[in-house]
Amino acid sequence: MAKQYATPGVYIEEKSAFTNSVVAVATAIPAFIGHTEKARAGKRDLTNVPLRISSLVEYLSFFGGAPKVKFNVNADGDNYTVETDNDTKYLLFRSLQLFYANGGGSCYIVSVGGYGESISSKTIIGTENGGGITALLKYDEPTLLLCPDAVLLDQDNCHAVQQAMLKHCGVDTRSRFAVLDVYNGDQARNNMDDDVVTVARGGYGNNSLDFGASYYPWLKTSIVQADEFDFTNVANIDGLIEVLNAEVDENVSAGLLESGRGDQIKDEVAKMANDDVNVDAVNNVLRTVSPVYNDILAQMKDGLNTLPAAAAIAGVYTTVDNSVGVFKAPANISLASVIAPSVNITSAEQENLNLPLSGKAVNAIRPFVGKGTLVWGARTLDGNSQDWRYINVRRTMIMMEQSIKFACEPFVFRPNDVNTWLAVRGMIRSFLRAQWQQGALVGNTEDEAFQVEVGLGSTMTPQDVLDGYMKVSVKVAISRPAEFIVITFQQKMPGGE
């Protein structure tokens, strides 16, 4: 309605020259849920409070560093064993290091407890205190979901967490994508009932499979460094002393070491049991004189460097989204800070991973000579679906849906008439045109790539208008990856056609 003027004078009216626009939402903002050393910003407790960070330095300031993992060293005849004390093991910090090593950026951290507390599926899911995964319901920005500590639970509880992740992404929010690991994914397959991939497929359930992807096997990384360990990582110092003294006795008996020198080494070994021991001094001496001590530390390092792959994959998603776009399949990408997969998969062995009868595809991670360790799969768990088979298709659709949703919010309560319909249609078409030009949509023309319809007689009935509904129909042809490239060769007669 035109403004009524009562006082003579000159009035200036400004008119908007441009319509509203759709801004693409961020696509690679993971949320990591797990245990941390601390969770505090000044005097504020951050436990179960999702916090956005942009670097590992920020993480360290709010959540602390790596856990002090303990090991048990035991004599076993002429040999010895090094076993991890799983009650002291947590994976969030190491996973975050792997994420940033592979191009990770901004992400959310949800600390569900400190080191020393038991890992619980209820705590991670947030069924008891509204924390964990549940705490993310109030936040719009996260687009990926990872729970690294889940694989440290027993099998049933790990699968309970993974099903909750899929439900959160595909039912509760429909705006996120879960990146899952195979339970015991550091073990080779045996094609029996307890095969790790077969068990994992059963554990994922059958719901919201297009909102998640799984990766196998785990990775042998270089994230954990050797200088992070010394004898204080050993839970049973008496066991370590026994093993090192046995090494000295063996070397003395073999004539490789003088008995007096052996006694001196034993004196250094005995110091490990003292409360006021100079850790650095004793550690340096033992590293110099004891191959067994160095081997024990190496086994500790190697054990902690075997990590689930999900965090590295989240880094790959971020790299691909930022360099090309969410429409690019996150595959055929090499992984950084990775020495090799924990299991070497051949092409024949990948067939069942990629094309199982159940459709629950598990993406392979494989080594290639001269290329490194590559992500060699781009399928969701809903592999039998023609619509949602590929990760990039589902994630691109999430991006488009959320972008258009947020852009349409200013039109709520606007007049439900042709002017509003044209404005909404033009806004969405402009957004999709830009996506088509970037390569997210396929088609020789705009009409082949996308269609937007809104209006009486096309998407709405008179009753819809009376009921206050404005219905918009959007159809898009999303780019799909060339997963199988078939090149046909045929001999040709010289000079012939």
pLDDT at 348: 86
Residues 197 and 230 in one domain: no
Residues 331 and 385 in one domain: yes
pLDDT at 467: 94
Residue 132 binned pLDDT confidence (cut-offs 50, 70, 90):
very high
Residue 425 lies inside a defined structural domain of this protein: yes
Q: What is the pLDDT of residues 174-186, one digit of tens each?
A: 999 999 999 999 9
Among residues 285, 305, 325, the one where a domain terminates is 305
DSSP 118-178: PP-HHHHHTTTTS-GGGGGGG-S---EEE-GGGGGS-HHHHHHHHHHHHHIIIIIISS-EE
Residue 71 lies inside a defined structural domain of this protein: no
- The residue-averaged pLDDT of 468-486 equals 88
Q: What is the mean pLDDT of the chain?
A: 93
Residues 155 and 235 in one domain: no
- Indicate the DSSP class of residue 230: -
Highest mean pLDDT of the ranges 124-128, 242-246, 310-314? 310-314
Among residues 391, 424, 451, the one where a domain terminates is 391
Strand arrangement of the beta sheet that strand 372-376 belongs to: 51-53, 107-114, 30-36, 144-146, 177-181, 212-216, 363-368, 372-376, 333-334
pLDDT at 53: 97
Q: What is the pLDDT of residues 247-305, one digit of tens each?
A: 999 999 988 889 999 999 999 999 999 989 999 999 999 999 999 999 999 999 999 99
| Distances from the Cα of 216 to the Cα of 181, 183, 219, 296, angstroms | 7, 9, 9, 28
**Is 137's pLDDT higher than 70?**
yes
Residue 15 lies inside a defined structural domain of this protein: no
pLDDT at 45: 96
Residues 300 and 312 in one domain: no
Its pTM stands at 0.92
Helix (H) or strand (E) segment spanning residue 25? none
pLDDT at 280: 94
Residues 270 and 156 in one domain: no
- The residue-averaged pLDDT of 489-494 equals 80
pLDDT at 219: 97
Residues 169 and 252 in one domain: no
Give me the percent of the chain exceeding a pLDDT of 90.
83
Give me the percent of the chain exceeding a pLDDT of 70.
98
Output 54 or 3, whichever has higher pLDDT. 54
Q: What is the pLDDT of residues 187-227, one digit of tens each?
A: 999 988 899 999 999 999 999 999 999 999 999 999 999 88
Residues 195 and 249 in one domain: no
Residues 301 and 428 in one domain: no
pLDDT at 496: 56
Residue 17 binned pLDDT confidence (cut-offs 50, 70, 90):
low
Lowest mean pLDDT among 33-47, 154-168, 174-188, 476-490: 476-490
pLDDT at 1: 52
pLDDT at 191: 81
Residue 355 binned pLDDT confidence (cut-offs 50, 70, 90):
confident
Residue 4 lies inside a defined structural domain of this protein: no
CB atoms within 10 A of CB 436: 20
Cα radius of gyration (the chain):
29
Number of domains in the chain: 3
Query: Nearest-5° angle of CA 234, CA 240, CA 245?
Result: 160
pLDDT at 10: 81
pLDDT at 303: 92
**Is 489's pLDDT higher than 90?**
no
Per the structure, the complete domain to which residue 321 belongs is given by 30-65+85-218+308-391
Phi and psi, residue 424, nearest 5° = -65, -45
Find all residues with CB under 8 Å of 451, minimum gap 6, and list them.
Answer: 473, 474, 475
Residues 131 and 211 in one domain: yes
98, 311 contact by CB (below 8 A): yes
CB atoms within 10 A of CB 176: 24
Residues 168 and 234 in one domain: no
pLDDT at 18: 62
**Is 323's pLDDT higher than 90?**
yes
